[in-house]
Amino acid sequence: MSARDIVLERVRAALGPDPATPEVPRHYRRAGEADARGSVVRFADRVEEYRASVHTCTEGELGSLVRRLAADDAVFVAAPAIAAALGLPGDEPPLSDPELDAADVVVTGCACAIATTGTIVLDGGPESGRRAISLIPDHHICVVRAEQVLADVPDAIAALRDAADEGRPLTFVSGPSATSDIELERVEGVHGPRRLDVALVR
């Protein structure tokens, strides 16, 4: 008998002939169950907990806010729908990785945002742009409209069904890119933008 067989035999003996299987609770939260009141305020609070900045504006103030958040000489790249709306250089045709790396600021919209977690979801559509543009430039300005803020994660998952069915990439963004080194020192900008500004259009 091999060592593997001996170990497995001991495991079977320890478990007995009919090991108990615990009952797993299945009371998952579902879309529409969370209280949506105050979602926009809750979302803004949660985003700032991640060391991102939230700037409230109207639709008419959006263009000037975006330009103010970026340096005067910043090199922009924007998701197609945002580029068309704000008159910014767009990602059409798709820029190469070196061209994206040369951009100081990326401006995107989003598919939705989640109040409970302060998360922004990009879905690869015209508002969000392709995944690469939100990962390579060092500064991400994301336009979130108040009506896109959903109460909880199940609401967002339900809202993203079409994008998932179409096979578009879904990117969940909770604050600037951050990780910790072996000494548990926080390091930002390793896997994506070092700075995240949210333009919250009320």
Closest CA to 141 of 107, 170, 114: 107
The whole-angstrom separation of Cα 188 and Cα 182 is: 14
- The model's pTM is 0.85
DSSP 78: E
pLDDT score for 122: 98
Measured distance CA(35)–CA(33) in Å, rounded: 7
Can you list the domains of the chain with their CATH numbers?
37-201 (3.40.50.10420)
pLDDT in the model for residue 19: 66
Q: What is the mean pLDDT of each run of 10 residues along the chain (202 residues)?
A: 92 81 89 94 96 96 95 88 95 94 96 98 97 95 98 97 96 91 81 94 96
Residue 16's pLDDT is: 79
